[in-house]
Homo-oligomer: A and B are copies of this chain.
Amino acid sequence: MEIPTSYDIPHGYAFNGISCGIKQSGEPDLALIVADQLCTSFGAFTQNIIRASSVDWNEKNVGSTRAIIVNSGNANACTGPQGERDTLAMAVETATRLGCTPEQVLVMSTGIIGEVLPMDKMISGIDSITDHPQATPENLSLTSRGFMTSDRFSKVASRRFECDGQEFSILGIAKGAGMIGPKMATMLSVFMTDFPLNRSTENLQWFKRIIDHTFNRISVDGHTSTSDQVVLLSRKVEEVVLGDQAVATFFENLWSASEELAKMIPKDGEGATHLISITVSGPQSEEELATVAKTIADSPLVKTAVFGADPNWGRIVSAAGYSGVDFSPETTTLKLNGFLLYSLGTPATFDAEKVSLSISENEQTEIQLQIGAPIHAATFWTSDLTYEYVKINAEYHT
């Protein structure tokens, strides 16, 4: 998927992606995002207690950020004190080149766990990438490719909107195809905006709420990564004063861009042939409905059935049954791609061949489970489980 030139790029940001020699393929493995001034920044980080040192660094320093340096092909995770020193060295080198403090540089590393970074290549790569960051479509393409590991396509989304007669943009980049089982945030994603935000309690809550409903509602294999993080950069423009309605418009746009990017991850799930969307509705709390949806999403039996275009609805209903959320079969109804398969505790009569065709002929499979009066609803996205997933993860040391 080539980056179209139509993405909206917010004012004041530049970026680039280059190959510094980590990936043997010669693909970009180093990316830089830099703003023309200090930005307000927001972050969401993995809840895995085995964390990459870059995640610790970013959680400590997020808030006021000038640049983000990203490398792919090596996660610099489980690398002990050496790993911590290398994260610091990346921040220091980038800061020195850009003329800011190391604390104003966030660091992201993604790739194999447990290998030490080749710091000679990193340092000379940082020296080179800080030379010519630009806000061009070509550089955006190189930057997003510099985030990728086992991804088949790069993941970019943008929004443009007007508030009080002024135009603003949001540009987001994400990566991820495997080790996707988010707890609070997933894999790497960066949003840039020229909409001015401060780190008010309300804004932090909005950010968390959006992440919880988008990046925290996807999985490929249910394995929470050591390196998950989502960062939002907002360029402060002191003279701009915007009202509550403008902030709401901003977060609406951020939510929609987040959902678009987040869904690209299971769509690009390792070996995936289907994006599976699971919506569960009922009188239970949204959190409980999301737990049911996630339990269905994590079942290898559901995921292989979708790959095999098999309307094996017993696997879906029984997965819901072990989610830990209380409900009764008598109030449970299941639809798959709009076909009624199970109705109020009893098997429905359906044309299995038609349902099977609706799965095999579409790239997206829609599962709708109602476990009582549909007062609330939650959606979770995942990918199917295929031969290719096993091949990717058994044959290659990633």
Tell me, yes or no, whether A354 is within 8 Å of chain B by CB.
Answer: no
Residues of B within 8 A of A395 (CB): 308
Interface size of A by CB at 8 A reads 65
Known: A78-B314, A394-B304. A326 touches B223 (CB 8 A): no
Residues of B within 8 A of A386 (CB): 390, 394
Tell me, yes or no, whether A313 is within 8 Å of chain B by CB.
Answer: yes
Instruction: Kindly supply a per-residue 1/0 record for chain A positions 104-119, scoring 1 wherever the CB is within 8 Å of any chain B CB and 0 otherwise.
Output: 0000000011111000
CA of A183 to CA of B319, assembled, Å = 12
Instruction: Kindly supply a per-residue 1/0 record for chain A positions 72-87, scoring 1 wherever the CB is within 8 Å of any chain B CB and 0 otherwise.
Output: 0001011111100000
**How close is A253's CB to chain B, nearest CB, in angstroms?**
31
Whether A222 contacts B320 by the Cβ 8 Å rule is: no
Whether B390 contacts A181 by the Cβ 8 Å rule is: no
Whether A181 contacts B312 by the Cβ 8 Å rule is: no
CA of A389 to CA of B387, assembled, Å = 9
Whether B394 contacts A342 by the Cβ 8 Å rule is: no
**How close is A229's CB to chain B, nearest CB, in angstroms?**
15
Residues of B within 8 A of A308 (CB): 393-395
Residue of B nearest to A228 (CB): B322
Tell me, yes or no, whether A132 is within 8 Å of chain B by CB.
Answer: no
Residues of B within 8 A of A49 (CB): 321-322, 326-329
**How close is A311's CB to chain B, nearest CB, in angstroms?**
9
Residues of B within 8 A of A305 (CB): 393-394
CA of A393 to CA of B120, assembled, Å = 47
Whether B393 contacts A387 by the Cβ 8 Å rule is: no
